[in-house]
Amino acid sequence: MAETEDFVGQEPHPVDDDLFKEPMKKRRRSDRDQRFRAFPSVEQSALKEYEKLESRTRRVLSNTYQKLIQSVFLDDSIPNGVKYLINRLLALIEKPSLDPIYIGLFGSTGAGKSSLINAIIQQAMFLPVSGESICTSCIVQVSSGCCEQYEAKIHLLSDQEWKEELKNLTKLLHRPEELGREEEDAWDRADAVEEAIWKLQMFYGNGAARKNYEELLRAKPKGKIPTSRVITLKAEEAGELSLKLDPYIRTQRRGWDEGSAETQIWPLIKLVEVTLPKSELIPEGVVLVDIPGTGDFNSKRDEMWRKTIDKCSVIWLLSDIERVPGGRAHEDLLNESIKACQRGFCRDVALVLTKTDKLHLPEYLRERQVGSQAIQSQREAVLERNEMIKLQRNKVLKEKLKRKLPADSRVLEDSELVYTVSAQEYWQQALLTEEETEIPKLREYIRRRLLDKKRRMATKYVTEAFGLLLLTDSFSCTDNLPNEYLHVSGLRRFVEEEIQLLEKAIDQCFAHIVQPLQEGVQSARSSYRRILGACLVRSRGNQGFHQTLKAVCLKNGIYASRTLGRIDLNEAITQPIYEQIDPVFGVIFRSGKPTDGSALMPHIDAFKHSLQEKMTEIGIRNGWKYDSYKKSFLIQEISAILGGLEGHILRKKRRIYESLSTSVQNDLKPCYEEAAQITGKKACERMKDVLRRGLDQQVAEGMFERAQERMQHQFHQLKNGITEKVKGSITTMLTLASSQGDGLYKELADVKSEYKEMEKLHRSLREVAENALLRRGMQDFLLRMSPSKSGPPKT
């Protein structure tokens, strides 16, 4: 899964430095119970059982760790096998109970992202809300914890990051000479210019926009900047924190007075993290992320924008129900969401239609062509319209996802890809019931995702710990005869042969991308001029576009405009290649069953099963009266090693996917730099000419072919990384199971009691899973039998 811990990609702990480290303290019982307040009683019971299993497992591991440390504490030389055990134990003890689930709310200005978060967390005006303009100006993360107070951490740009932005802002404000009156007015109205002036005046005061870079470096900011570059706010009540937080995250309108000390450092803010205390509605472990729709002019903020999207395992694409589907802004956001599935950790994409209580009844009745049943009220019309639009949009969205994603993608299996919500009606309930606003349905979705992830992580954790205790117990046994240890020399040869087969299988898998890449390159060569021309044309000609284009060049082809949307020349130029490779790329990194050998993970799974079958065969052939624990350990450890590879692969695929646009950006960098320096008369046309000539030259010199080579090189590096990690980890593991070596089997403290306890915990996994299934079935039955809520709550 996307959230899998990358065990192979990290060493548990450096042997010499952290061998005698104290494990972290376990969470208090009262704190653990608070984590489940957001769940119904049935789900609470399941979560508590999994939490208890994990907690008891962690306690067993801690006791074992302490015994091993005491048994080798005075030794001058610690055998490698014991070091391995100690480090693995410590890594498991300190492994997080649950990696956060990031749910990204992605939408255009006024789509209602903040309003939806407020409704989900049951705090009406917690985040700033405005239907008329951009309200949330930066990435805002909202989660719950076991803290007693409401808390917010406001992260600021570092000094170096601000200097980089300041340099670009002053370049952007360098007014061209000899402008005519009309051109001068257009220059002043340019979106990029307005925003640059606005930021500098906010930070340095009036007149800042007329100063150069060196003068501004010496100028004193109006606001006080903490040396830590982090501002922490705390409050007893949500409303109190909301008031403190508002000036930091609300977009400051241009033309306002200087404002408060908080607003004066607003240009430095890059991320806000809000933590709620013990929420009964949003469970701990879930992070709701309000993501601005276009990115940012600042490189660091823009990078964070992209990385935030990529780390979301769920993306909710928000859109006002009255906005026309298929508009450019909506399509751009949808494409960005689909790319997150291609390059990031995203597995679920859903369309959340907001403000669904809005409907002009006379107009709707005139255009209505559904059925013959008469509509009796506004409420009936809203419900009918919402259901009809949900069915229509669900079909359209699924078709778009099918064109880009593998056929067995999990998101395509979901029957419900569209939600119709109304935050306003959630609070007022003048027209719709609480359930009909679908806010409870989104909360249920969040709980279901967390419960499923907790079940998978707890099962994996207990299973991995059991395998480790098997080996630890074997080390402490003194009654095993050396000649009865599992023979692994044949297994080593077999592993080497299997790794060679794995390399060939990966080569064959990655070869599927070559032809689409070649076809994409040909398509890009024939269409790049048309694409660039379309990017450089605006409805008002060059009026006001000069400085926007300059901003694009200053940022190497990428500019996030609040009015024009996100402009990315590099991505646009390489789009024909992406259109060819997207379906194949998705197939390579899918996690479904093997079909034609085009998917990577099934080859790794086949490698794992082949090794495990060979271990069983060797064990039977050689007799394992005393070595059944060794065989079990090897099988469990192989699962841990190869299971950890998936996280490593998912992190690498982002770099692979972006290598095309990154390669083009690097090749075009001299063109961007030259164009950004152009000033004076007809500067916009001259900048366009530089870009056209530079692009022609780079294409003639093989720019697209180099991009293809770089992507194929990234695939090759991934293959080498996989095989090296597998070879190194499995070799170390087999050494542990061998009776040869440097005194590997030193007599250790007796851990039989810990092993027996761990054995019981491992057996109880099945019982916990069965109990959870039974409770879920009972809950579903009771829900089906209970009368549904209907009718308007008010008249």
**CA separation for the pair 585, 514 (Å, rounded):** 11
pLDDT score at 122: 92
Which positions ≥6 away from 593 have C-beta within 8 Å? 408, 602
State the average pLDDT over residues 103-112.
Answer: 87
Q: Which of 339-343, 369-373, 439-443, 711-715 has the lowest mean pLDDT?
A: 369-373
Is the distance from CB of 101 to CB of 448 less than 8 angstroms? no
Integer-rounded Cα radius of gyration of the chain:
30
Place 746 in a pLDDT band, splitting at 50, 70 and 90. low
- % the chain with pLDDT above 70: 79
The answer on pLDDT for 530 being more than 70 is yes
For residue 105, give the amino acid letter. L
Higher pLDDT, 771 or 585: 585
| Secondary structure E strands in 358-515 | 418-420
pLDDT score at 6: 37
**CA separation for the pair 661, 571 (Å, rounded):** 5
- Residues 53-89 as b/e (b if ≥16 CB within 10 A, e otherwise) read bbbbbbebbbebbebbbebbeeeeebbbbbbbbbbbb
For residue 519, give the amino acid letter. E
pLDDT score at 147: 82
**CA separation for the pair 334, 568 (Å, rounded):** 16
Place 794 in a pLDDT band, splitting at 50, 70 and 90. very low
Q: Please count the CA atoms within 13 angstroms of the CA of 457 that sit on its side-chain side.
A: 24
State the average pLDDT over residues 603-614.
Answer: 86
pLDDT score at 626: 47
β-bridge pairing 314-320 and 348-354: parallel
Higher pLDDT, 14 or 593: 593
Instruction: Supply 212's token pair.
Output: 């150069």
The answer on pLDDT for 232 being more than 80 is yes
pLDDT score at 666: 97
Higher pLDDT, 141 or 266: 141
For residue 33, give the amino acid letter. D
State the average pLDDT over residues 289-308.
Answer: 82
pLDDT score at 166: 93
The answer on pLDDT for 349 being more than 50 is yes
The answer on pLDDT for 295 being more than 80 is no
Nearest alpha carbon to residue 311 among 334, 338, 343, 283:
343
Instruction: Supply 735's token pair.
Output: 């050494």
pLDDT score at 795: 39
Report the range out of 184-198, 317-331, 539-553, 756-770 with the highest average pLDDT.
756-770
Higher pLDDT, 460 or 7: 460
Beta partners for 143? 275, 287
**CA separation for the pair 565, 327 (Å, rounded):** 12
DSSP string for 711-755: HHHHHHHHHHHHHHHHHHHHHHHHHHH-S-SSSTT------HHHH
Is the distance from CB of 127 to CB of 250 less than 8 angstroms? no
The answer on pLDDT for 1 being more than 50 is no
373 phi/psi in degrees, rounded to 5: -70, 130
pLDDT score at 592: 61
- What DSSP element (H or E) covers 446? helix 439-476
pLDDT score at 741: 41
**CA separation for the pair 362, 554 (Å, rounded):** 51
The answer on pLDDT for 382 being more than 50 is yes
The answer on pLDDT for 623 being more than 60 is no
Which DSSP category does 151 fall into? E
Per residue in 567-593, pLDDT tens?
899 999 999 999 999 989 988 988 666
612-618-620-623 Cα dihedral, nearest 10 degrees? -130
pLDDT score at 329: 77
β-bridge pairing 286-291 and 139-145: antiparallel
Nearest alpha carbon to residue 637 among 81, 163, 167, 126:
81
SS3 string, 74-112, reads CCCCCCHHHHHHHHHHHHHHCCCCCCCEEEEEEECCCCC
pLDDT score at 2: 39
pLDDT score at 264: 79
Place 539 in a pLDDT band, splitting at 50, 70 and 90. very low
Q: Average pLDDT, whole number, for the chain?
A: 82
pLDDT score at 481: 40
pLDDT score at 483: 42
Beta partners for 144? 276
pLDDT score at 175: 63
Higher pLDDT, 595 or 47: 47
**CA separation for the pair 280, 122 (Å, rounded):** 9
pLDDT score at 750: 82
pLDDT score at 137: 67
Higher pLDDT, 745 or 697: 697
Place 622 in a pLDDT band, splitting at 50, 70 and 90. low
Share in percent of the chain as helix, strand, coil (round to 5): 60, 10, 30
Which DSSP category does 298 fall into? S
Per residue in 256-293, pLDDT tens?
555 566 677 888 998 999 999 878 888 889 999 998 87
Per residue in 625-672, pLDDT tens?
445 556 666 777 787 778 778 888 988 999 999 999 999 999 999 999
